Amino acid sequence: MPAPENTLKKRLQSGETCIGCWIGLADPYLAEISATAEFDWLLIDGEHAPNDLRSLSAQLAAIEGKGPSPVVRLPDDDPVKIKQVLDIGAQTLLVPMVETAAQADRTFRAMQYPPIGFRGVGAALARASRFAAIPDYLTSAGGELCLLVQVENRAGLHALDDILAVDGVDGVFIGPSDLAADMGHIGKPNEAEVKEAVVGALQRIRAAGKIAGVLSTDPDYIDDCRKAGANFLGVGIDVTTFAGAMRALARKYR
Which residues form the interface with ligand LXDSK4UY (CB under 6 A)?
48, 150, 152, 175-178, 215, 237
**Can you tell me whether residue 144 is helix, strand or coil?**
helix
CB of 150 to ligand LXDSK4UY, least distance (A): 6
User: Please, which residues have CB within 8 angstroms of residue 220's CB and are 6 or more apart in sequence?
Assistant: none
CB of 176 to ligand LXDSK4UY, least distance (A): 4
Bridge partners, 147 (sequence order): 93
Bridge partners, 92 (sequence order): 146
Q: Look up residue 192 and give its DSSP letter.
A: H
CB of 48 to ligand LXDSK4UY, least distance (A): 5
Catalytic: which of 13, 32, 48, 138?
48
Number of helices (H) and strands (E), helices first, in the chain?
A: 12, 8
Specify whether 48 is catalytic: yes
10 Å Cβ neighbour count for 140?
Answer: 15
Bridge partners, 174 (sequence order): 151, 214
CB of 94 to ligand LXDSK4UY, least distance (A): 8
Instruction: Kindly tell me which of 75 and 142 has the beta carbon lying closer to ligand LXDSK4UY.
Output: 75
User: Strand 171-174 relative to strand 232-237: parallel, antiparallel, unpaired?
Assistant: unpaired
**Can you tell me whether residue 250 is helix, strand or coil?**
helix
CB of 165 to ligand LXDSK4UY, least distance (A): 22
10 Å Cβ neighbour count for 51?
Answer: 23
DSSP secondary structure letters along 67-106: SSEEEEE-SS--HHHHHHHHHTT--EEEE----SHHHHHH
Q: Look up residue 190 and give its DSSP letter.
A: T
Positions annotated as catalytic residues are 48
